[in-house]
Chains A and B, each alone.
Chain A
Amino acid sequence: AQSVTQPDARVTVSEGASLQLRCKYSYFGTPYLFWYVQYPRQGLQLLLKYYPGDPVVQGVNGFEAEFSKSNSSFHLRKASVHWSDWAVYFCAVSSSGGSNYKLTFGKGTLLTVTP
């Protein structure tokens, strides 16, 4: 069964500093991976997606993520954090192939931004 672990429940970063949010996945085969962001009292918004190919993928608002098969990881990065990035970030994995299109989410990481 597929699973996602986000080891950090909360990360605090100063505005303007760089950011890395960690994600480890478990999946037998080639995964499809996603990062979503959830602002207070809103649904999830897709930040970026990885389909098999280039391991570094670019997303919206300056976010990028790097897929590593050897480390079973898909960490999210941003070079310079803005106060508006304060939100909960979810990593998710989907199976590839066949007709199973279920997403499995991690528990999320709350990003807080200090002045």
Chain B
Amino acid sequence: EAGVTQSPRYAVLQEGQAVSFWCDPISGHDTLYWYQQPRDQGPQLLVYFRDEAVIDNSQLPSDRFSAVRPKGTNSTLKIQSAKQGDTATYLCASSPGWGAYEQYFGPGTRLTVL
């Protein structure tokens, strides 16, 4: 069974540039999560979906970050105008949902904003 895949693996931007991250969850997993992991810290939830619906986006900086999962499968996280404080690894995870609480993580995208 294929795991969670993410692309790109690395991104380097200047402040003010836009970037998109893509995630393909494990087949059949209806719940998808995006996390931000600053260096030397634990992952912090940004947003999560069940199928195509946003369940919780309370930690997503809505003025610059957006996330979609239009068909309930793949997902895209976009940063509109990156800031140096956005430098972090962005992790995608998926879960079977409904009674299963463990999450399975992709390799992450390491973002550096100069």
Contact = CB atoms under 8 A, between A and B. Distances in A.
Nearest to A42: B107
Given A102-B45, A105-B43, A44 B105 contact: yes
Contact of A103 (B4, B40, B103): B103
B114 interface: no
A82 interface: no
A105 B91 contact: no
A105 B42 contact: yes
A104 B41 CA distance: 12
B94 to A, nearest CB: 11
A34 B41 contact: no
| 9 residue pairs, one from A and one from B, having the closest CB atoms | A105-B42, A43-B105, A44-B105, A94-B101, A32-B101, A43-B107, A107-B42, A43-B108, A49-B102
Interface centre among A34, A44, A46, A108 (most CB of B within 10 A): A44
Interface of B: 4, 31, 33, 40-45, 48, 50, 55-56, 91, 93, 95, 97, 101-108, 110
A101 interface: yes
A67 interface: no
Nearest to A31: B101
Given A49-B102, A99-B50, A107-B42, 10 more contacts: A32-B101, A42-B108, A43-B91, A43-B107, A44-B43, A100-B56, A102-B56, A104-B45, A106-B42, A108-B40
